[in-house]
Amino acid sequence: MRIFPILAALVVSVVMYMAIFERDTLLTLTGKADGDAVVAQTDATDDGPDPSQVAEQTLVKVVVQRSTAKELASAVIVRGQTAAARTVDVESETSAIVTSPPLRKGAKVSAGETLCALDLGTRGAAKSEAQARRAEAQSRVPEAASRVKEAQARLDETLIRLNAAEKLGEGGFSSTTQLATAQAAVAAARANLSSAEAGLNAATSGIEAADAAVAGADAEIGRLTLKAPFDGLLESDTAELGSLLQKGSLCARVIQLDPIKLVGFVPETEVERVTLGAQAQARLAAADRQIGGQVTFISRSSDPATRTFRIEIDVPNADLSIRDGQTAEIAIASDGVDAHLLPQSALTLNDDGTLGVRVIDDADVVAFIPVRLIRDTPQGVWVMGPPATSNVIVLGQEYVTAGVTVAPTYREVTQ
């Protein structure tokens, strides 16, 4: 029988019992109790911990970055896309059969070039009829004019006779019957003149009506030729030969790409920094190509959904290499500003929901300063608002409020 393991187990059991249940007795036996009493007596005679150290331990610890404002080339950065300077759907204004062969999409066209020619039909006959009516109306004018002259001459003659009858009547050499006859003749001559003048007016009106009919026929014939409104490219095939175009049917779509426009939407916080004529640079995302132009339009009305303002920039595109609808990152030149480069995590909101940062002064007291975002970069955000030199809390700002004293740890960052 192995007695030594049994004895070892008993010894260990006794030691553990003394260490747990009879600790004071064990310390007394080993002399530790006396030493603790001496230490306790010594501590009782001490004055206690330094109050300043206790206050230091109760302050919230934060990490502070010393930030100095730097001048930032403050270009307004927006994302947008290219757009054709002009896009027009050439549509038919009448109904007719297409008689011209089609032009294929992508073809260059010049202003005034025929895109779709339509069948004349009976429009030529209608024009000839209108011209014949005009000629007939014109032939009536000389006859009507001569009748007016004849009626005027007769009226003059009757007026002379009436005047003579009145003179003779005053001397007693003419009877009342002769005077009445002269007066009746004058009235008849005047009625005849009025009738002749009405005939002349009718003939003139006939000419005007015929002219209007001829003009209408010419306009209808002019609608049979659909032409390109400007130099550009066909974005669709023209109407096929033999197809019927109704009023409003599409003949072709023409776009103008030189110059091409850059279209972007600027937020309301940045729109005041954009001016007409400002230089702008853009990078096309797909082609990784830089292009430039000038701002030609700034909307006065914001988009009701996004509260942004449309801007347009004209860019030369003589080789037509820039396409309609390409994504572009646009930088619009603006006056430089002094701004701070801070970690994005340093931004916070106050109780009113205002975006800003928390800073400390020389006495380590916290203050809240509203900021305005200028630019977002991989290195951080550029903001305006804090003084030129500021101690910005970059860690722990969510746990303090304005007016609280903190225990800062400074972190130097090279901007």
- Which residue has tokens 């776009």? 255
CA distance 392 to 359: 4
Torsion on CA atoms 70, 73, 78, 82, rounded to nearest 10: -160
Exposed, middle or buried: residue 406 (CB in 10 Å: 0-12, 13-18, 19+)? buried
Eight-state DSSP code of residue 241? T
Q: What is the pLDDT of residues 186-235, one digit of tens each?
A: 788 788 888 888 888 888 888 888 888 888 889 899 999 999 999 999 99
Nearest to 277 by CA among 260, 300, 294: 294
What pLDDT, on the 0 to 100 scale, is given for residue 415? 47
Q: What is the pLDDT of residues 136-169, one digit of tens each?
A: 888 778 877 888 888 888 878 787 777 776 766 6
From residue 351, how far is each of 62, 102, 343, 354 by CA, in Å?
20, 68, 21, 7
Torsion on CA atoms 314, 318, 324, 325, rounded to nearest 10: -60
Q: Are 389 and 68 in contact (CB under 8 A)?
A: yes
**Residue 20 pLDDT class (50, 70, 90 cuts):** low
Nearest to 367 by CA among 343, 350, 344: 350
What pLDDT, on the 0 to 100 scale, is given for residue 342? 93
Q: What is the pLDDT of residues 48-76, one digit of tens each?
A: 455 555 455 588 999 999 999 988 776 88
Share of the chain above pLDDT 70, in %: 85
User: In terms of pTM, does the model score above 0.75?
Assistant: no
Q: What is the mean pLDDT of the chain?
A: 84
From residue 250, how far is each of 97, 364, 374 by CA, in Å?
13, 74, 47
DSSP state string for 264-320 = EEEETTTGGG--TT-EEEEEETTTTEEEEEEEEEE-SS--TTT-EEEEEEEE--TT-
CA distance 407 to 411: 13
What pLDDT, on the 0 to 100 scale, is given for residue 343? 92
Looking at per-residue pLDDT, the higher value among 31 and 305 belongs to 305
Cis before 370 (ω within 30):
no
Torsion on CA atoms 337, 340, 343, 349, rounded to nearest 10: -90
SS3 45: coil
What the chain holds in terms of domains, given with CATH numbers, is: 4-45 (no CATH), 61-71+337-412 (2.40.420.20), 76-83+255-332 (2.40.30.170), 90-118+225-254 (2.40.50.100), 123-222 (1.10.287.620)
What pLDDT, on the 0 to 100 scale, is given for residue 179? 67
Q: Are 312 and 299 in contact (CB under 8 A)?
A: no
Asked which of 143-157, 250-264, 394-408 is least confident by mean pLDDT, the reply is 143-157
